[in-house]
Chains A and B, each alone.
Chain A
Amino acid sequence: RKEVEQDPGPFNVPEGATVAFNCTYSNSASQSFFWYRQDCRKEPKLLMSVYSSGNEDGRFTAQLNRASQYISLLIRDSKLSDSATYLCVVNAPSGNTGKLIFGQGTTLQVKP
């Protein structure tokens, strides 16, 4: 089983749609969670951290379910510029401070 699993997609949605991505992680000891965004032929960039209570940043909402070891990202009112690959990221268990584990990514294509 992969340490971080995501549906690779692609998700093809029209502008204005709401889309949700899910991710599961295998190690219950993980403490930090993130979503990174990667545009085609560019480097990954931090989109948002994910907190236990859930958090929102504009049109983006992240949720964490520790019991199910499940992370989600919701994008409302999709824009063409949201087209990218979204990487689910968790930190490695204790003893590997600073190390992150990246999922394979979910590709989103927003169509006009």
Chain B
Amino acid sequence: DAGVIQSPRHEVTEMGQEVTLRCKPISGHDYLFWYRQTMMRGLELLIYFNNNVPIDDSGMPEDRFSAKMPNASFSTLKIQPSEPRDSAVYFCASGSASGASDTQYFGPGTRLTVL
């Protein structure tokens, strides 16, 4: 299994630009999670999906952030417009209700820098 795939691995953009992060979960997993990690705040859950349906988006910082999961093998996290304080590593993770209880498998992350 290829594991969780994220793209791009690195993104450098200027303030005000739109940023789209992509994730392909492990095949067969029915949960998908988007996290953000910074030195100051640690690992924060932004939003998660179950069977492509958003379940909890209470961690999404503001309206500039949006996430979609159009099918079981693809999800996007979009920031529009981006701001310097959005600079962080964004992880996607997937898991299965039928697998080991609540275990999540993380992708390699996207390192976002907003100038």
A32 to B97, CA, bound (A): 13
Q: Mark A79-110, 1 if CB is under 8 A from B, else 0.
A: 00000000100010000111111111100000
B42-A43 in contact (CB<8A): no
- Knowing A98-B97, A98-B102, A99-B48, say if A43 contacts B91 (CB, 8 Å): yes
B107-A43 in contact (CB<8A): yes
A91-B42 in contact (CB<8A): no
Interface residues on B, range: 20 to 34
Count of residues in A whose CB is under 8 Å from the partner chain: 20
For window 13-44 of chain B, which residues contact chain A by CB distance below 8 Å? 31, 33, 42-43
A102-B103 in contact (CB<8A): no
Which of chain A's residues have a CB closer than 8 A to the CB of B31?
98
Contact of B48 among A98, A103, A104, A105 (CB under 8 A): A98
B101-A43 in contact (CB<8A): no
A34 to B45, CA, bound (A): 16
